[in-house]
Amino acid sequence: GQSLEQPSEVTAVEGAIVQINCTYQTSGFYGLSWYQQHDGGAPTFLSYNALDGLEETGRFSSFLSRSDSYGYLLLQELQMKDSASYFCAVKTSGTYKYIFGTGTRLKVLA
Amino acid sequence: GAGVSQSPSNKVTEKGKDVELRCDPISGHTALYWYRQSLGQGLEFLIYFQGNSAPDKSGLPSDRFSAERTGGSVSTLTIQRTQQEDSAVYLCASSLDGGSREQYFGPGTRLTVT
């Protein structure tokens, strides 16, 4: 089957750095995406990795290792507004469909 | 429009009734996706459209679920003979094409089957 695993919950304090891991097992792979979703809101795109390595976008960075079927999202200088759920998603080859993980709920404490 | 829109925002229906959910993607976006999200859960892929055709319908849970897209734009997801387990938020997303990095999500339709 196809699956993505993420921690269910992570807690950190304002100003800290947090890493959310994602391991995947899918048939076919184009890339790994990360989405943020606040309670009651729609998911919003954060980053996409198609190749191994680190992609940096402001306070957020995302890493991919295709050989390990592993990626992570790194959030720096945490702010209260970063409290949300974070989903990794694999874009599968063949039909371009996405398989989403179950999400990691991030709580940022003052 | 400026973003993906969905209607209705909320729908309460009785078990056994049919419902239609609508998605208006961003103008010019050829790829359109439907997902289902149960409370506190991840997004479950339902169907992907490229233009008017659906290369991947593998996520539709049963033959009670169907979707169509006309004119390469608006899409309708239809659920026949609704069941209580169909209660969820149904999300639509679009992207410029299937190879795009980013999906843009609509606000979703919250479906409650009583």
| Among the listed residues A105, A99, A89, A97, the one whose alpha carbon sits nearest the alpha carbon of residue A35 | A89
Cβ contact, residue pair B58, A96, below 8 Å = no
The alpha-carbon gap from B29 to the nearest alpha carbon of chain A, in Å, equals 15
**Least confident range of A17-21, A56-60, B39-43:** B39-43
Using an 8 Å CB-CB cutoff, list chain B residues near A89: 43
CA distance A65 to chain B (A): 18
Asked if the Cβ–Cβ distance from A97 to B58 is below 8 Å, we say yes
Percent residues over pLDDT 90 in chain A:
86
Q: What is the DSSP string of B72-83?
A: TS-EEEEE-S--
Q: Decide: A10 and B64 in contact? Cβ < 8 Å.
A: no
A40-86 pLDDT, tens digit each: 899 999 999 999 999 998 999 999 999 999 999 999 999 999 999 99
Question: What is the structure's pLDDT at A92?
Answer: 86
Chain B nearest CA to A100, separation (Å):
6
**Do residues A71 and A54 make contact, with C-beta atoms less than 8 angstroms apart?**
no
C-alpha of A79 from chain center: 17
- On chain A, the residues whose CB falls within 8 A of the CB of B42 are 87, 100-103
Element (DSSP H or E) covering residue A30 = none
The residues in A 33-52 lying below 8 A from B, measured between CB atoms, are 33, 41-45, 48, 50
Closest-CA residue to A62 (of B94, B101, B106): B101
Q: Which of B101, B105, B106 sits opposite A48 (nearest CB)?
A: B101
**pLDDT value at B6 more than 60:** yes
Q: Which residue of A has its CA nearest to B56?
A: A95
